[in-house]
Amino acid sequence: EVTRPRSQGQTLEAILNFKYSGGPGHVEGYYRSLALGLHVEVEPSVFFTRVSTLPATSTRQCHLLLDVFNSTEHELTVSARSNEELILHAGECQRMAIQVDKFNFESFPESPEEKGQSANSKQLEEERQEARGLEINSKLGIRWTIISFRTGEASVEGLLNQLVLGHLQLAPLLWDVLVDGQPCDHEAAACRVGDPVRLEVRLTNRSPRSVGPFALSVVPFQDHQNGVHNYDLHHAVSFVGSGTFYLDKVPPSGQAACLGALLFLYTGDFFLHVRFHEDSSSKELPPSWFCLPSVHVRALEAQA
């Protein structure tokens, strides 16, 4: 059972002025006037009770999670520009997941801290938040439709807090993991048992400062799809050389890469988790700059 959330509507007030006449008075040019006051409460047909995010398989994307409430007495459909669609019965609330490309907010007004200004800091931050909300809302393109009745837009403006905005923003450090030279953002990378698999980790530094050096380890595991991850794979996965990778210092707008290789000794689905060593270089930067999804690798039978 869903509890109806607090109203997010608006109150509209108006005064209607009427003039009317008739009979002999109309002939003589007389009329009467009447003022009628109206008080109307307007509620949105669809609104969002909760907004959050989840990481996607690519560091350049994420999932925006919206708890959508249908406040009408009709069944309606909520759709987004990315083809996600949700059917809601009257008074029903459901969660909608929309995969979005992360946003580059560099072109928006800078924050007061970045400008070093104290005057009008609140106004500058509000303008920046509004610009971000407008940009995100236009990209989402969320609409609701009541069949054969009406249609409208649903907006997330004003609902995105700093935490959600941070997850929707491209991090200053962009990480890419390639298996045998191919990005593995969306589909499992395939390999043959016993064949060396080349692994490459690339870093693009979008920040205005030099970063690094970094040390990171690749940890293989299997997901049993029941909440259990098996990391004891010494008999199934072997590294060619070291399982620790090193990246030198990377200047602003620069790129760097580290290479390694590993062998899969048995068939199956494996995942590679990249862990950063907690040294001085990584500790001084926000954790959100080091988000890498697990890499899915499928080991197939060796060719005869």
Within 10 A of 303 (CB to CB), how many other CB atoms are there? 8
**pLDDT value for 83:** 79
Domain annotation covers residue 188: yes
Same structural domain, 162 and 57: yes
56 with 156, same domain?
yes
Q: Is the pLDDT of residue 251 over 90?
A: yes
pLDDT (0 to 100) of residue 166: 81
User: What average pLDDT score do residues 164-183 get?
Assistant: 87
Per-residue model confidence (pLDDT) at position 304: 67
Encode 108-162 in three state secondary structure.
CCCCHHHHCCCCCHHHHHHHHHHHHHHHHHHHHCCEEEECCCEEEECCCCCCCCH
**Residue 178 sits in the same domain as residue 132:** no
> For 234-244, what is the mean pLDDT?
89
Domain membership of residue 1 (yes or no) is: no
Question: Which residue's entry shows tokens 């994420």?
Answer: 62
Q: What is the pLDDT of residue 43?
A: 72
Look at residue 109 in the predicted model and tell me its pLDDT: 45
Q: In this model, does residue 117 exceed pLDDT 80?
A: no
Mind listing the pLDDT tens digit for each residue in 145-172?
Answer: 988 778 888 888 778 888 888 888 888 8
The number of folded domains in the chain is 3
Query: What is the rounded CA–CA span in Å between residue 302 and residue 299?
Result: 9
148 dihedral zone (left: phi>0; alpha: psi -120 to 50; beta): left
Specify the pLDDT at position 192. Answer: 92
For residue 1, is pLDDT > 60? Answer: no
Residue 180 shares a structural domain with residue 155: no
Mean of per-residue pLDDT scores for the chain: 84
Segment 51-75, tens digit of pLDDT: 998 887 777 888 999 999 998 888 9
Q: Do the Cβ atoms of 46 and 71 come closer than 8 Å?
A: yes
Q: What is the pLDDT of residue 290?
A: 82
Domain-embedded: residue 2? no
In a domain, 3, yes or no: no
Distance in angstroms (rounded) separating the CA atoms of residues 29 and 21: 8
When pLDDT is averaged across residues 24-46 and rounded to a whole number, the result is 85
Tell me the residue range of the domain where 177 lies: 173-300
- If one compares 293 and 276, the residue with the highest pLDDT of the two is 276
Both 163 and 207 in one domain: the answer is no
DSSP assignment, residue 166? H
pLDDT of residue 279: 72
pLDDT at 281: 66
Give dist(CA 248, CA 229) in Å, integer.
32
Do 177 and 295 have their domain in common? Answer: yes
* pLDDT score at 115: 47
pLDDT of 231: 92
The answer to whether residue 228 sits within a structural domain is: yes
Residue 15 placed within a domain: yes
Q: Are residues 193 and 90 in the same domain?
A: no
293 or 23, which is more confident?
A: 23
Mean pLDDT score, 42-52: 83
The verdict on 185 and 88 lying in the same domain is no
Residue 241, domain CATH = 2.60.40.10
Tell me, yes or no, whether 185 lies in a domain. Answer: yes
Question: What is the model's pLDDT at position 302?
Answer: 84
Residues 177 and 292 in one domain: yes
* 257 and 245 share one domain: yes
Same domain, 19 and 124: no
State whether 28 and 79 are in the same domain: no
125 pLDDT more than 80: no
Segment among 57-61, 97-101, 133-137, 203-207 with least mean pLDDT: 57-61
Q: Is residue 197 part of a domain?
A: yes
